[in-house]
Chain A
Amino acid sequence: MAAVITKPEGLLYDGADWDYDKIKRVYDAIEHVALDEMGLNVYPNQIEVITAEQMLDAYSSIGMPLMYKHWSFGKHFARDEMLYRKGYRGLAYEIVINSSPCISYIMEENTMTMQTLVIAHAAFGHNHFFKNNQLFQQWTDAEGILDYLEFAKAYITQCEERYGHHAVERVLDAAHALMNQGVHKYPKKRSLDLRLEQKRERERQEYQEQTFNDLWRTVPKPMAGGARPSKTVSERKKLLGLPEENLLYFLEKKAPRLEHWQREILRIVRHIAQYFYPQKQTKLMNEGCATYTHYTIMNTLHDKGSISEGAMLEFLHSHTSVVFQPEFDDQRFSGINPYALGFAMMQDIQRIAENPTDEDRYWFPDLAGRGDGMGALRDAWANFRDESFVLQYLSPHLIRKFKMFSVRDDAEDPYLLVENIHNERGYRQIRKMLARQYDLAFLEPDIQIVDVDLAGDRKLILHHRVTNGVLLDESDAKAVLRHIANLWGYEVQLIEVSAVSEAILKEHAVTAPSGVGA
């Protein structure tokens, strides 16, 4: 029975075990399909084989291969490790990093079919998305990120040596608490260059050390409350660039009591938050793109006879569990599965482009029947984020397929109200509401620094513009304010203001941290 033992003609691999030769063969085959047939455009790839423990490591440091040290990463590791060891949770098959070269981690435990799937998914699907989506192009610097993290890690270690663990931890804690409020939401004139960042910091430090003069310390400080002309509120706000929604940025630039190294740490955390900002906005599309890519590639390979029926079945088993969408009344339901909806939308776009129905022609006049489905997808991947993508492409066909309906939950009513279902009247409403569920600007509370009296008591005033009457979680808000006060050095006040009526709904205040203060 030699035929059973020898590898059938044309197969890239056989059996479950993987080795480097097989991976190389499979990679080349996938690359051919992805680049030549699907027209993807990717960063050079780097595939790293890791163990389960290293995967846990990567989990805890938010997926990055190197990260500065902080207790919160240890906490996440401890929890993930326990969940994993007790079998409550499996591990991801892969982690992929938006860098150039694009690094994909694959686990040694995976079978060869899983490795094939992972390479198609991460090294081509995600990679293409990272390289081509405009949000990533605009906000992240794929070439510089690893070097920057290296710098950040070294810098923070150095700070720990110079100023002590505790002092550094205090700043990092505060910075982490403000991470969601630490991104610029509008592009700057100059795009970010992380390499320049390191250079800038090094030069500044050198300059300071060269020009250090102890005499300055002895210069008498101006008397407090000196005769300074008091400015009008609007002038003052203009001077400070208020209102400012990037709290970390404001504190880094304007907080009066911070040392230079503390500002630099805020800056590091801010850059990292900014780096992840596009990923938060494109979860659905990113996974949809990667899932669609691996699905197409695996099918193409199978059609060509490059992978066996058994491998295909294994792949399909894993694929269907990834794109499974439990219904709302299912115990397993935990929101809309981005893999499921993303994948379905990608397939739907291709269907509309190639085989439209009359309904599609009515809803998508530009897209329907355009023919080149892959081209339409590449356009979508390059130019949208989740919110606009759903708003643009969610078709009635899919709304019916998922049987979506919208529910209004008004705390003042004793029941929930079904507002729209999957019918003619509901399509547009449901699409709009679903798009809003992916809109970060809507999901995250709108918090801005509106005023600070620099000449007076230096109280920092923040506003939370309350939409739909949903206030902030009180205990957390208080804790974050405490962190802000630690950085700012003076009293901090947060006022929750209704976005509709401008009425003040609630106030939180935290006094100046002890130990400082004039």
Chain B
Amino acid sequence: MNIIDRRLNPQGKSLANRQRFLRRAKEQVVKAVRDASGKRGIQDIENGEKVTISTGGVREPSFHRSGSGGVRDYVVPGNKEYVEGDTISRPEEQGGGRGSEGSPDGEGDDDFRFVLSREEFLDIFLEDLELPDLVKQKVKQSESHSLTRAGYSVTGSPANLNLVRTMRNSLSRRIALKRPKPAEVAELEDLLREAEDRGEDPEVLRDMRSQLERHYLRAKRIPFIDPIDVRYNRFETVPKPIAQAVMFCLMDVSGSMTEHMKDLAKRFFMLLYLFLKRRYRSVDIVFIRHTHEAKEVDEDTFFYSTETGGTVVSTALEEMQRIVKERYPENEWNIYAAQASDGDNMSSDNARSAGLLKDAILPLCQYFAYIEVAAEHNMGLSALGRETELWRTYKMVQGPDLPLAMRRVRSRREIFPVFRDLFAREKAGA
């Protein structure tokens, strides 16, 4: 008998099958995921998702008898009171006493439920979202370089000397050219000395001396280490894509922003964070809140403490500019910014904000998203097309080549579509 421990075998043997299954059910899974993400809180999106799809595309049909009609006989256990000829009223639901009938694998359900892992869910969730110009930006920004080992070279600085390689070459050269080994030389010297002591025949002594002489000469001519033996480690510089991103969250926290608006903003920020998280190895978040003055704060303060004061947007932009200069050099970080506001701004600040955005912020950013949150019941006004101060200001800045996007959001339901809209692939050129 053999006992084999298979527990350490590679896990996830069924992964390939699962991928095939998901591919097969793609359309339905994508739909299920969209429905689910519409209904759920954003925080849950990080978790796996139980999705239900109809069995349509993943049905495995087979020839089998239908569950109704015809004449059937069953033998069942547990008779208590029946005698031959008794009649039993037909049970409403099928399947009770029908062990061998009905659907063969007990899969009568129209729906098929299973759990998507977090990764799978997010993959599908973010599937066709892609930041505009991402590729271009990557190429443009992959200016940082790192050194990578790339074999050996015959030149180099002493610090890069590869001792093992060098000695190996030296040894093979010495063997090939038959350089006498120190031990051989010493042995010959000993022999000669002994012979001299014994007073050996001068003829023999001369031979030995000349042989020793030849050895000395040869050892001298063939150096222990020759310049041609020497090898250096070679390094190549390879461009390193920037794998880190920083995300600036800018929000107006003046009195006019209600809890509802902040909630909308928060959800938007979270989505953006999720999205960046999937593309970059590390994502930093900087929270900047502003009233008539801007401050960098932690997340809790950002979302939950209120301030009073006017609204001067340019302060936040200035703060962001300062932080970028201080901590996030443009060539090392991918910079994203998302601004949420109810659209209020001091009229006198508009020109300044527009200027800052256009000349300082946008050139730094991979992407700048502005969402304007509005009260849920405030439909009438925006439907009439009354644009807010800030909206008008930014609209002036907006141009075809600038990574600026702006949208309006009124209810929780709209967040996800807006997000898709902002980052949809087609919009890249628009």
Using CB atoms, name the residue of chain A closest to B20: A71
A49 touches B6 (CB 8 A): yes
Cα distance A430–B13 in the bound complex, in angstroms: 46
The winner among B20, B77, B82 for most chain A CB atoms within 10 A is B77
Cα distance A31–B21 in the bound complex, in angstroms: 43
Interface residues in B45-84 by Cβ distance below 8 A to A read 50, 58-80, 82-84
Q: Is B325 an interface residue (CB 8 A)?
A: no
- Smallest CB–CB gap between A476 and chain B, Å? 4
Q: Which residues of B contact A243 (CB under 8 A)?
A: none
Interface residues in A55-69 by Cβ distance below 8 A to B read 56-57, 60-61, 69
Cα distance A422–B71 in the bound complex, in angstroms: 22
Per the CB 8 Å criterion, the residue count for chain B at the interface is 64
Selected contact of B14 from candidates A74, A82, A181, A434, CB within 8 Å: A74
Cα distance A105–B263 in the bound complex, in angstroms: 53
Interface residues in A211-235 by Cβ distance below 8 A to B read none
B99 touches A473 (CB 8 A): no
Q: Is B9 an interface residue (CB 8 A)?
A: yes
Task: Using A73-B17, A421-B84 as known contacts, say yes or no to A476 and B64 having CB atoms under 8 A apart.
Answer: yes
Q: Is B85 an interface residue (CB 8 A)?
A: yes
Cα distance A57–B10 in the bound complex, in angstroms: 12
Stretch at the interface among B110-118, B353-361, B397-405, B420-428: B110-118
Q: Which residues of B contact A48 (CB under 8 A)?
A: 3-6
Q: Is B11 an interface residue (CB 8 A)?
A: yes
Cα distance A473–B68 in the bound complex, in angstroms: 9
The winner among B11, B70, B113 for most chain A CB atoms within 10 A is B70
Q: Is A177 an interface residue (CB 8 A)?
A: yes
A75 touches B58 (CB 8 A): yes
The winner among A169, A411, A466 for most chain B CB atoms within 10 A is A411
Cα distance A410–B87 in the bound complex, in angstroms: 12
A472 touches B65 (CB 8 A): yes
Cα distance A81–B112 in the bound complex, in angstroms: 13
Cβ contacts A462-490/B at 8 Å (1 or 0 each): 00101011111111110110010000000
Cβ contacts A8-38/B at 8 Å (1 or 0 each): 0000000000001001100100010000000
Stretch at the interface among A140-148, A288-296, A325-333, A369-377: A325-333
Q: Is A108 an interface residue (CB 8 A)?
A: yes
Cβ contacts A414-446/B at 8 Å (1 or 0 each): 111111111001100010011011000001110
Q: Is A409 an interface residue (CB 8 A)?
A: yes
A78 touches B114 (CB 8 A): yes
B-side binding surface: helix, strand, loop or mixed?
loop
Q: Which residues of B contact A60 (CB under 8 A)?
A: 14, 17
A54 touches B6 (CB 8 A): yes
A418 touches B17 (CB 8 A): no
Cα distance A419–B115 in the bound complex, in angstroms: 47
Task: Using A60-B14, A327-B77 as known contacts, say yes or no to A54 and B7 having CB atoms under 8 A apart.
Answer: yes
Q: Is A513 an interface residue (CB 8 A)?
A: no
Task: Using A71-B17, A443-B100, A472-B66 as known contacts, say yes or no to A54 and B78 having CB atoms under 8 A apart.
Answer: no
Q: Which residues of B contact A181 (CB under 8 A)?
A: 63
Interface residues in B88-136 by Cβ distance below 8 A to A read 88-90, 96-100, 103, 112-115
B77 touches A430 (CB 8 A): no
Q: Which residues of B contact A56 (CB under 8 A)?
A: 14
B87 touches A333 (CB 8 A): no
Q: Which residues of A contact B88 (CB under 8 A)?
A: 407, 415-418
Q: Which residues of A contact B19 (CB under 8 A)?
A: 74
Cα distance A468–B74 in the bound complex, in angstroms: 13
Q: Is A179 an interface residue (CB 8 A)?
A: yes
Cα distance A70–B23 in the bound complex, in angstroms: 11
Task: Using A419-B73, A471-B66 as known contacts, say yes or no to A51 and B7 having CB atoms under 8 A apart.
Answer: yes
Stretch at the interface among A298-306, A397-405, A449-457: A397-405
Q: Which residues of A contact B5 (CB under 8 A)?
A: 48-49
Cα distance A256–B230 in the bound complex, in angstroms: 70
Stretch at the interface among A39-47, A195-203, A261-269, A346-354: A39-47
Q: Is B392 an interface residue (CB 8 A)?
A: no
Using CB atoms, name the residue of chain B closest to A180: B62
Q: Is A184 an interface residue (CB 8 A)?
A: no
A402 touches B14 (CB 8 A): no
B6 touches A473 (CB 8 A): no
Using CB atoms, name the residue of chain B closest to A335: B99
Q: Is B24 an interface residue (CB 8 A)?
A: yes
B62 touches A406 (CB 8 A): no
Q: Is B86 an interface residue (CB 8 A)?
A: yes
Selected contact of B9 from candidates A54, A179, A426, A444, CB within 8 Å: A54
B112 touches A75 (CB 8 A): yes
Q: Is B2 an interface residue (CB 8 A)?
A: yes
Q: Which residues of B contact A444 (CB under 8 A)?
A: 63-64
Using CB atoms, name the residue of chain A closest to B78: A327
B87 touches A417 (CB 8 A): yes
A71 touches B24 (CB 8 A): yes
Q: Which residues of B contact A123 (CB under 8 A)?
A: 1
Task: Using A54-B13, A61-B14, A416-B87 as known contacts, say yes or no to A180 and B75 having CB atoms under 8 A apart.
Answer: no
B72 touches A49 (CB 8 A): no
Selected contact of A47 from candidates B1, B67, B112, B115, CB within 8 Å: B1
Q: Is A334 an interface residue (CB 8 A)?
A: yes
Q: Which residues of B contact A75 (CB under 8 A)?
A: 21, 25, 58, 60, 112, 114
Q: Is A185 an interface residue (CB 8 A)?
A: no
A471 touches B70 (CB 8 A): yes
B63 touches A445 (CB 8 A): yes
Q: Is A165 an interface residue (CB 8 A)?
A: yes
Task: Using A329-B78, A405-B76, A406-B75 as known contacts, say yes or no to A411 and B70 having CB atoms under 8 A apart.
Answer: yes
Cα distance A48–B66 in the bound complex, in angstroms: 41
Q: Which residues of B contact A415 (CB under 8 A)?
A: 87-90
A82 touches B115 (CB 8 A): yes
Q: Is B16 an interface residue (CB 8 A)?
A: yes
Q: Is B22 an interface residue (CB 8 A)?
A: yes
Q: Is A79 an interface residue (CB 8 A)?
A: yes
A418 touches B86 (CB 8 A): yes
B17 touches A46 (CB 8 A): no
A74 touches B17 (CB 8 A): yes
Using CB atoms, name the residue of chain B closest to A176: B60
A177 touches B65 (CB 8 A): no
A71 touches B87 (CB 8 A): no
A69 touches B87 (CB 8 A): no
B61 touches A479 (CB 8 A): yes
Q: Which residues of B contact A471 (CB under 8 A)?
A: 65-66, 69-70
A71 touches B21 (CB 8 A): yes
- Given A54-B9, A417-B86, A434-B75, 16 other A-B contacts at CB below 8 A? A31-B1, A50-B7, A60-B14, A72-B60, A73-B14, A77-B14, A177-B61, A327-B77, A336-B77, A404-B79, A415-B87, A418-B83, A418-B84, A421-B82, A443-B100, A483-B61
25 contacts between A and B (CB under 8 A): A47-B4, A49-B4, A61-B17, A77-B17, A78-B18, A78-B115, A177-B60, A177-B61, A329-B80, A335-B100, A403-B78, A404-B77, A405-B79, A405-B82, A406-B75, A407-B73, A408-B72, A409-B74, A416-B89, A418-B85, A430-B75, A433-B73, A437-B100, A476-B64, A480-B61
10 pairs of A and B residues whose beta carbons are closest in the complex: A335-B99, A327-B78, A74-B21, A470-B70, A74-B17, A479-B61, A469-B70, A78-B114, A71-B20, A328-B76
